[in-house]
Chain A
Amino acid sequence: MHAFANPTRFLSIARPVTPWLLWLGALLSGYGFYAGLFLTPPDYLQGESVRIMYVHVPAAWLGMGGWMGLAVASLAQLVWRHPLAGVAARAIAAPGALFTAICLVTGSIWGSRTWGTWWQWDGRMTSMLVLLFLYFGYIALANASDEKVSVSKATAIFGLIGAVNVPIINRSVVWWNSLHQGPSITLKGSTIAPEILWPLAFTTLGFSLMFGAIVLMRMRTVLASAKVEARLRRLTTA
């Protein structure tokens, strides 16, 4: 990873990769949406409302995966002092919060159609809401410190500690009685029929690529604004 430690080298790779991630992601998501809306059959019990899954599930995975990425970046910052790790963690926080929010909103709509309620304090919903608040806390902490490019040590430690919530979200439907159903997709396979499942692969891959594109864009923005600030400072002192 230290090959990318040089911001100039990182930028020379990130710049051409960003549009590819973005447009490929948009294309895959677009096809996944089309397939999920028009090509797959409805569910025998939930009817047409099952189609919200194609947005809800990848958003949930990315909300959780985002924090895992943020935690790994925080670890890399604290242990190896990687110069871009803090920048990466800072860049992940906003899209992570965004996808967590998408998950909560779509889940609420889905629940109103199937369960008959918009919100209940069961283990899965509560722990997912906690994840959203953790993202908000992280963003606030990152912006509050003097570090404007990387993040402060306290912020990185917060990023590591917050990771405890991710396995709790994952296990919440197994440990506790919940309104949310048990896991459908596990290491043993899927209890979702293949003819309903397949567009999920497209939207998941598409969302992930777009998530990556947003992270690279935000990292480039942070690095660019740091460069601008440095130049301005040189101008005023000269």
Chain B
Amino acid sequence: MKAKHQRLTLALLALAALFGAGLLAASALKDQASYFYSPADLQKNPVPPGKHIRLGGMVADHSIVKQPDGVTIDFVVADGPATTKARFRGIPPDLFKENSGVVAEGAFDNNGLFVADTILAKHDERYMPPELARKNGRQEHKTETLAR
């Protein structure tokens, strides 16, 4: 075996081991490194009231209700069949819409209502001009669960 080949084998073996270790570690972080909990996650592992978390999912259809005071918004975060009721006081981002993704930061109160102090809007990986969206995009959107 020539020295060159020895170095190549060594380098490739080291790389394979390194990549394997790195990717295994990263994918094992799956739950810990997630940016938010979905309503389905919360159904499986409930979070105690008062603990600050991020809740993410789709804003359910026809669920946004503006309270008479004008700044309080009630909405439902859905992830497939699992849903969580949420409330936010303030100005949400423009992209906060029904059937669109949302990440809310806040905590549950004692009645199981998620009180958000920050709202971030999430959009999915589909980009299209408005005409096309009117033609077919919006219908597609409704059947879609949380895109990630």
Contact = CB atoms under 8 A, between A and B. Distances in A.
Interface of A: 41-47, 50, 53, 75, 78-80, 114-117, 120-123, 160-161, 163-165, 167-168, 171, 173-179, 181-184, 191-193, 195-197
B26 A168 contact: yes
19 contacts: A44-B129, A45-B100, A45-B133, A50-B127, A78-B11, A79-B8, A115-B103, A115-B122, A116-B96, A116-B121, A120-B35, A171-B23, A171-B26, A171-B27, A177-B38, A179-B36, A179-B120, A193-B127, A193-B129
Contacts, number: 140
Given A115-B103, A160-B11, A176-B30, 6 more contacts: A116-B119, A167-B19, A171-B23, A177-B36, A182-B124, A197-B127
Contacts of B126: 184, 191-192
Contacts of B18: 160-161, 164
Interface of B: 4, 7-8, 11, 14-15, 18-19, 22-23, 26-27, 29-30, 33-38, 56, 92-97, 100-101, 103, 119-134, 137, 147-148
Given A160-B15, A177-B148, A42 B7 contact: no
Given A116-B95, A178-B35, A78 B133 contact: no
B23 A115 contact: no
Contacts of B95: 45-46, 114-116
B127 A184 contact: yes
B127 A79 contact: no
A116 B30 contact: no
Which of A161, A175, A197 is the most central at the interface, judged by chain B CB atoms within 10 Å of its CB?
Answer: A175
B130 to A, nearest CB: 4
Across the A-B interface, give the 7 residue pairs with the lowest CB-CB distance, nearest first.
Answer: A116-B93, A44-B133, A41-B129, A164-B22, A193-B128, A122-B35, A177-B34
